[in-house]
Amino acid sequence: MEGEWRPDCDGAPIPVMNRFAIKAGLGACVLGASVLIPAQASAEPAATATGTELSGMTVFLDPGHQGSSEGHDLAQQVNDGRGNTKDCQTSGMTSLGGVPEHTINWNVSQLVKSSLESLGAKVVLSRQDDTGWGGCVDERARAASESNADVAVSIHADSTAQGEDASKHGFHMIIPSLPIPDEKADAAQSGGGLEASKMMRDAYKSDGFVPANYAGVNDGLQTRADVAGPALTQVPLVFVEMGNGSNKEDSAQLESTDGQLKHAITITTGIVTYLLTGSQSAPAEELAAAPAATTTTPEASEDSASSTTTTTPKATTPKATPQSTAPESAEFSELMEMLAPLLEVEGLDGLEDLVNDKNLGLVSELASTLMAVITGAGGN
């Protein structure tokens, strides 16, 4: 409530304003410390996060679908980027446990957003809540392009049947068939978009996720010409399908709080790996000279889908292949079991009740432990 103060990750007092602020703050404590900053050369030790690694960089996050389509025609025909048209939007799948895809996408995106902001990045969202409209596919692509983001990530979950489908499971990245008619979109997706998608795929595999075994997916990548977003977006885009909501195991992970957290950590790892080591990332000396991140106000962090930025595109300087940016799956599972009591008491919406001096101290210890495991500095 207004006037109440509680400590942040470092013990400094912060005002407690609402459930969302607490949820985002706790997510930043856990996720911000969990991200490994890839070494610029394999001989160098991995660095710990300082909060300024992504200063000056912009990430566009698109939580797929929307909370409500009231007043909008989902079947309205819009440009598909290839000379034809397609439906404006769809309602998304519903998991076997009855959780709508738009909510799964939203929860994961909020955790990713908190993590990226804790590293100094500016995050632009395609939609501002999980209750209203989020825009047609062409509008979201235009918003991503106008944000001048260093990378855009569209977060989705798949389905293959109305009921249960035990035979099909796994994650995949959708990449567009090339070439794309729009020259700027083609350059963005054939270059940085493809590279970032492969890095995201590698992050998923490193975290123990299994590539999809259906719909022509090849080692976690699916090439398609019927998805408008990549064909219309003029900044590098990663289109993530986190899992199959029709599969019992995939669905359970997509629905659960710890499963959403695991997806968020993996997506954040893929984004950070691309931004700091990809061929379009800034040279090391530019990163070192980046200004310190400033405190983000709620107004600044909740960008509208139509907002624009003046971020300067990064120089194309090749980087050395980073060391693995994800923890071993067994170690990760142990840490997730430690985090579960904090996150599963009442789910994401109950985190407010978990925030107190004692629990924040525990979160800090868990975050430190997770960082130690990822960097190889911790014990077995």
The residues carrying an active-site annotation are 241
Query: CA-to-CA distance for 334 and 242, rounded, in angstroms?
Result: 21
In angstroms, the Cα distances linking 227 to 154, 184, 210, 238, 241 are 12, 17, 23, 12, 13
* Cα radius of gyration (the chain): 20
- Could you tell me how far CA 134 lies from the centroid of its own chain? 17
Query: CA-to-CA distance for 200 and 193, rounded, in angstroms?
Result: 10
13 three-state secondary structure: strand
Terminal Cα-to-Cα distance of the chain (whole angstroms): 41
Other Cβ atoms closer than 10 A to 72: 15
Query: CA-to-CA distance for 154 and 270, rounded, in angstroms?
Result: 13
CB 173 within 8 A of CB 200: yes
Q: Which amino acid is at 361?
A: G
Other Cβ atoms closer than 10 A to 282: 21
| List of residues 6+ apart from 146 with CB closer than 8 A | 306, 307, 308
Closest alpha carbon to 137 in 150, 127, 147? 127
